[in-house]
Amino acid sequence: MIPVFKNEPFTDFSVPENKKKMLEAIEKLEKELGKEIPLIIGGKEVYKEEKLKSINPSNKDEVVCVFQKATSEDAQKALDSAWKAFEEWRFFPPEERANILLKAAEIARKRKFELSATMVMEVGKNWAEADADVAETIDYFEFYGREMLRYAEKQPLTPFPGEINEYFYIPLGVGVVIPPWNFPLAILSGMSSAAIVTGNCIILKPSSDSPLTGYRLVEIMKEAGLPDGVLNFLTGPGSSVGDYLVGHPKTRFIAFTGSKEVGCHIYELAAKVQEGQIWLKRVIAEMGGKDSIVVDDECILDDAVQGVLASAFGYQGQKCSACSRAIVHEKVYDEFVSKLKEKIEKIKIGPAKENHFMGPVINASAEKKILEYIEIGKKEGKLLTGGEKAEGNGFYIKPTTFYDVDPKARISQEEIFGPVLAIIKAKNFDHGIEIANNTIYGLTGSVYTLNREKIYKAKKLFHCGNLYINRKCTGALVDVHPFGGFNMSGTDSKAGGRDYLLLFLQGKSISEKIR
């Protein structure tokens, strides 16, 4: 009997033993930096002439790993071996598939510090952020394993005289999994494990900013006993190998998480029926956000300040759920602004391995884009904090806040994906909700108010997939806060929720006449 699902606890790094283990894991990884990782096609390691490098964003001179630049030929081979593996994998008993995920959870738990260290070095997460990413990964394995067993149960039907009727779920086929770098283990593993446990085979194409972290899933799944060909691993530019796979007539589904721009491109490309294609591709696309926290005059202001700070600058604002707009009631506006400024000025920035509150942004092009938005912000609002790069040999940007920003300004509307916050003044609570709903996105949101009427109103009117009340708008937990947004934030799927596996399944209805 499998025990009920429980979220993986976070590591307490104030415990000396845990701190020591984390330092050791980082030190060990530092000795292995620059190691080469292969493509995995049909269970075989493949090395290419052309290589790419993943860089430590905390220290530009450090190569984290060398990875292969796959070609469309490799993509074709990966598709062929995935379809070959599918012939057996789809008939594996659901219990066996679920067991592989449960084993994967156990392996990830044992390798926790190593997995966290990989993200500290490859994507600049501080220890707690990296640890939360590993915990979420374990949660996906545990939860989707159990969910598969639920979907495999006998499905209820209305009895009909003279017939034996059945309804059950079967997998879709071969799909492409395209995750982002910002939750390089959790989102990558969540999408992959959901696709696999439901009996599909996949080609996983990690982000070029986090291939080593992505490769950790390959290692874990191999150790857990996943058959060859079920999970193929292809690294290389999204625009070449990604387009080839998305557009291919033999691709049955695409599970994507990333920006609105790439998501819309994939959605469009996948919609075109290619010669020889015998299905309409299913696209699960989770995209960006422009998330707001509405601060009412009837709230505990210190809590609101703390919630905005954590949501806006945790992991350098590089979360789809990050708060990038604080919409504050005019009665408490000045006090909120001065309290927030005081707190932001105390934020420490530095290399992720030293575990500061803030580390670097992911790469040079993100740094450039964020700095350009900061220049736009200087024209659109009044600079409260930051506004420039921070010291160091990485991509460091100071936590930047603008106040008196117009709700329609570019920095109020466009996803910046960095440590940049716009503060907007609202006339009252209703006006605050109206502003919160004025973007093309609808991912997360939060309100700080003690007034029950207003809470009720927010529940009805604040149009976002994940609404929080009197708490920060980041940090969704698997099966506690099923995660995914409305409008241009995606296809309304809910990762870590009970509807999620259905996205990778199709229902088969069978009716037999009783003779």
What are the catalytic residues?
A: 286, 320
Question: Which among 274, 279, 256 has a CA at the least distance from the CA of 266?
Answer: 256
Piece of the chain touching ligand NAD by CB under 6 A; list 182-190, 226-234, 326-334, 429-437? 182-190
Q: Which of residues 336-365 bind ligand NAD (CB under 6 A)?
A: none
Among 178, 191, 230, 370, binds ligand NAD (CB under 6 A): 178
Among 94, 145, 171, 180, binds ligand NAD (CB under 6 A): 180
Give the span between the Cα atoms of 379 and 143, in whole angstroms. 47
Strand partners, 456: none
Q: Which CB sits closer to ligand NAD, 267 or 279?
A: 267
Site pattern 255..284 for ligand NAD (x: CB under 6 A): --xxx--x--xx------------------
Site pattern 187..216 for ligand NAD (x: CB under 6 A): x-------------------xx--------
Give the span between the Cα atoms of 256 and 284, in whole angstroms. 6
Q: Which CB sits closer to ligand NAD, 175 or 484?
A: 484
- We find the least distance from the C-beta atom of residue 119 to ligand NAD, in angstroms, to be 14
Q: Which of residues 121-140 bind ligand NAD (CB under 6 A)?
A: none
Distance in Å from the first CA to the final CA of the chain: 39
Q: Which CB sits closer to ligand NAD, 165 or 365?
A: 365
Q: Is 78 in the site for ligand NAD (CB under 6 A)?
A: no
Determine contact, residues 102/142, Cβ cutoff 8 Å. yes
Q: Is 183 in the site for ligand NAD (CB under 6 A)?
A: yes
Among 114, 286, 297, 367, binds ligand NAD (CB under 6 A): 286
How many residues can be counted in the chain? 515
Q: Give the other-Cβ count within 10 Å of 176's Cβ.
A: 30
- We find the least distance from the C-beta atom of residue 234 to ligand NAD, in angstroms, to be 11
Piece of the chain touching ligand NAD by CB under 6 A; list 156-164, 179-187, 334-342, 450-458? 179-187
Determine contact, residues 28/34, Cβ cutoff 8 Å. no
Token output for 395: 């991509």
Among 287, 305, 349, 505, binds ligand NAD (CB under 6 A): 287
The percent of the chain in helix, strand and coil, each rounded to the nearest 5, is 40, 20, 40
Give the span between the Cα atoms of 287 and 255, in whole angstroms. 11
- We find the least distance from the C-beta atom of residue 237 to ligand NAD, in angstroms, to be 7
Piece of the chain touching ligand NAD by CB under 6 A; list 71-79, 136-144, 241-249, 329-337? 241-249
Q: Which CB sits closer to ligand NAD, 181 or 395?
A: 181
Q: Is 493 in the site for ligand NAD (CB under 6 A)?
A: no
Determine contact, residues 298/450, Cβ cutoff 8 Å. yes
Size of the residue set binding ligand NAD (CB under 6 A): 32
- We find the least distance from the C-beta atom of residue 148 to ligand NAD, in angstroms, to be 21
Give the span between the Cα atoms of 211 and 205, in whole angstroms. 9
Among 243, 303, 404, 434, binds ligand NAD (CB under 6 A): 243
Pairing, β 163-171 against β 174-178: unpaired
Q: Is 289 in the site for ligand NAD (CB under 6 A)?
A: yes
Question: Which residue is associated with the tokens 């990989």?
Answer: 118
- We find the least distance from the C-beta atom of residue 281 to ligand NAD, in angstroms, to be 13
Piece of the chain touching ligand NAD by CB under 6 A; list 101-109, 147-155, 235-243, 498-506? 235-243
CA neighbours closer than 13 Å in the CB half-sphere of residue 61: 2
Q: Is 74 in the site for ligand NAD (CB under 6 A)?
A: no
Q: Is 485 in the site for ligand NAD (CB under 6 A)?
A: yes
Give the span between the Cα atoms of 319 and 133, in whole angstroms. 12
Q: Is 182 in the site for ligand NAD (CB under 6 A)?
A: yes
Q: Give DSSP secondary structure letters for 207-244.
A: -TT-HHHHHHHHHHHHHHTPPTTSEEE--S-IIIIIHH
Q: Which of residues 432-471 bind ligand NAD (CB under 6 A)?
A: 443
Determine contact, residues 316/417, Cβ cutoff 8 Å. no
- We find the least distance from the C-beta atom of residue 205 to ligand NAD, in angstroms, to be 6
Give the span between the Cα atoms of 334 and 329, in whole angstroms. 10
Give the span between the Cα atoms of 426 and 325, in whole angstroms. 12
Cα-based distances in Å from 249 to 176, 216, 371: 12, 29, 40
Question: Which residue is associated with the tokens 């067991």?
Answer: 99
Piece of the chain touching ligand NAD by CB under 6 A; list 72-80, 107-115, 225-233, 285-293? 285-293
| CA 364 and chain centroid, separation | 21
Token output for 497: 């929720």
Q: Which CB sits closer to ligand NAD, 262 or 371?
A: 262
Give the amino acid at 481. Answer: H
Give the amino acid at 338. Answer: S
Spatial CB neighbours of 219, under 8 Å, sequence gap ≥ 6: none
Q: Give the other-Cβ count within 10 Å of 368's Cβ.
A: 12
Q: Is 119 in the site for ligand NAD (CB under 6 A)?
A: no
Q: Is 489 in the site for ligand NAD (CB under 6 A)?
A: yes
- We find the least distance from the C-beta atom of residue 400 to ligand NAD, in angstroms, to be 18
Q: Which of residues 360-419 bind ligand NAD (CB under 6 A)?
A: 415, 417
Binding site for ligand NAD (CB under 6 A): 178-183, 187, 207-208, 238-239, 242-243, 246, 257-259, 262, 265-266, 286-289, 320, 415, 417, 443, 484-485, 489-490
